[in-house]
Structure 1
């Protein structure tokens, strides 16, 4: 995982500014992920795994401004950007840790993640889903705004071709596009159907994929 950490340490300052170009469905992707975080309490306890610069957490805090939210990431540089983003909020805390080995601190009403879990092996994904299920209060939800693999090699190849065509003709510099392709080499994406089955196996009683656009999908589970 060290190579993943190094690449995200390097991109930390530019991460947010590139999101809308790298994610063509940006508004729906984060908007629907946030919409499916439907919680009963106005002050929910939330854990953001692989939180990075806190982009997803910002959407969540706009919906639940009084949420007690912890941002966890193994990149100190990414969390430094997040600390600047939430500098004046006392209800936001930070934890530098690997999502696969961190020690839980109590139960949560929700666990969220965005564009992070696809860096794990399939085995580690399944173990993490079980861990997340154990972290949640009854009725709690897991929302994962994720990068996924096509359901077949042919479909995934088409996704990749379309993405490369769009980025190669985007306003991003050649260096930024090349850096994105280098980060993609570290991806270990799984399909939507595989991950939905793993969520069921982890114990989630309700599972869905409320949004998907090529390689971007929102996966949801309720305990």
Structure 2
């Protein structure tokens, strides 16, 4: 067994010991939405318009215990869905999760789980319109090999959603990982012992320890489960990124960068908006340098989540009045509390709409053109653009 195979086996043993994520199994469909796992919402975010069809092929690469897969089934009833993972223990939980909640029985298309390392993704039949790979690539012995294997399975015009760790926001975690490993010595690789040692360290350190404070502020609610603690502090394989190394990984995929799927985090205004001079100076920076500047100024950023696409991928610019007038509008599918003038938007932010916005959204039935909806109203095309930009409505070409 070579070094890469040994590290892969170590990861497999961790997740067989502590299947992850450890969220409890439900007897009903999962609550709420994650719009990144909703095909129509994700495509609309990336392309500016609703996809032409509702029956994509979706791959959940590194599905673990099926928390994301369950949402993919629930939110995309017509999609053909595959879930692959390295750990047979995690896959067993994933199967049980999707069966127990009823989402699998209610799904209209095939659903397949398979134990398959991501490096061997070529063995999967066909290509996928959407690949979801959350929290996985950074745990692979060779993330470049992983992203390249999956990139080859993205269909032309398809999307690839990725989540990987950021090094600056995980600095304290890295220190604790190394400390636990030193305390474990020859017992490193015994994950139950690693959790015991880690909890003992946290329980013994002074209250004012930076490691203790950081864990309490950021992770303690999540890490009360041993599986979460082990995944964070006792993992045998982890690669953390910065903007420079992240885009090296992206460039190696051969795919194109759409953007981060949490754009408010990457808005420089939220950090130095009080200084018009700094904002003006930053305008001369490249996109990647602006991203680097943001992560240098906000060291709480602990991960990157983003979309890639495989060309050809067409986006729609609704700045043309004639084009927008002929578009079809419908309310975004990932709003919680709609219909109401106050509800949670696609990112679970409390949102309030005006009377005019509420009336327009209520009329968006997915059939009428924008022009017909605007007849005899004072609502304007710019008002429609505002709703679309805020992801409160989706637009499609007539």
**With structure 1 as the length reference, what TM-score do the two structures score?**
0.77
Question: Which of residues 263, 281, 303 is equivalent to 1:216?
Answer: 303
In structure 2, do the counterparts of structure 1 residues 62 and 172 end up closer, same or farther at CA, with 3 Å as the change threshold?
same
Contact 1:33 1:218 in 2 (8 A): no
Deviations 1:25-73 (Å, cap 9, x if unpaired)?
xx99x82533663254211111111111111122222331111010000
2:136 equivalent in structure 1: 116
Q: Within 5 Å, which residues of 2 pair with 1:18-97?
A: 31-34=34-37, 37-38=42-43, 39-87=51-99, 88=105, 89=107, 91-97=110-116
Q: Is the 8 A contact 1:149 1:215 kept in 2?
A: yes
105-114 or 80-89, larger mean C-alpha shift = 80-89
In the superposition, relative to structure 1, how do residues 169 and 78 fare at CA in structure 2: closer, same or farther (>3 Å)? closer
Residue 24 of structure 1 is matched in structure 2 by: none
- 2:147 aligned with 1:133, yes or no? no
CA distance in 2, matches of 1:65, 1:79: 21
Q: Distance in 2 between matches of 1:172 and 1:129?
A: 28
**Judging changes above 3 Å, is the alpha-carbon distance between structure 1 residues 11 and 205 closer, same or farther for their aligned structure 2 residues?**
same
How do 1:97-116 residues align onto structure 2 when only pairs under 5 Å count?
Answer: 97-102=116-121, 103-116=123-136
Residues in 2 aligned to 1:170 and 1:115: alpha-carbon distance in whole angstroms: 19
What residue is the counterpart of 1:189 in the other structure?
A: 240
- Name the CA shift for 1:178/1:107 in 2 (closer, same or farther; >3 Å): closer
- The number of residues matched between the two structures is 208
State the shift of 1:109 in Å. 0.8
**Equivalents in 1 of 2:228, 2:96: separation in Å?**
26
Cα contact 2:173–2:232 (8 A) shared by 1:
no
Cα pair distance change 1:34/1:3, threshold 3 Å: same
Does 2:18 match 1:11?
yes
Task: Compute the displacement of 1:82 (Å).
Answer: 0.9
Alpha-carbon distance, 1:170 to partner: 3.6
In the alignment, the residues of structure 2 paired with residue 167 and residue 42 of structure 1 have an alpha-carbon distance, to the nearest angstrom, of 37
Q: 1:8 to 1:205 in 2, by over 3 A?
A: same
**Residue correspondence of structure 1 range 167-182 to structure 2 within 5 A:** 169-170=220-221, 173=224, 179-182=230-233
RMSD: 3.2
Q: Distance in 2 between matches of 1:81 and 1:174?
A: 16
**Given that residues 167 and 240 in structure 2 are in contact (C-alpha distance below 8 angstroms), is that contact kept between their aligned partners in structure 1?**
yes
**Structure 1 residue ranges, 4+ long, deviating more than 6 angstroms after superposition:** none
Structure (1/2) with the larger strand percentage? 1
Unaligned 5+ segments in structure 2 are 1-7, 25-30, 44-50, 100-104, 175-210, 266-299, 311-398
161, 167, 171: which one pairs with 1:157? 171
User: 1:197 and 1:142 mapped to 2: Cα distance?
Assistant: 16
The alignment's TM-score, normalised by the length of structure 2, stands at 0.46
Alignment gaps of 5+ in structure 1? 18-26
CA contact (8 A) 1:4 1:183 kept: no
CA–CA distance in structure 2, aligned partners of residues 69 and 197 of structure 1: 29
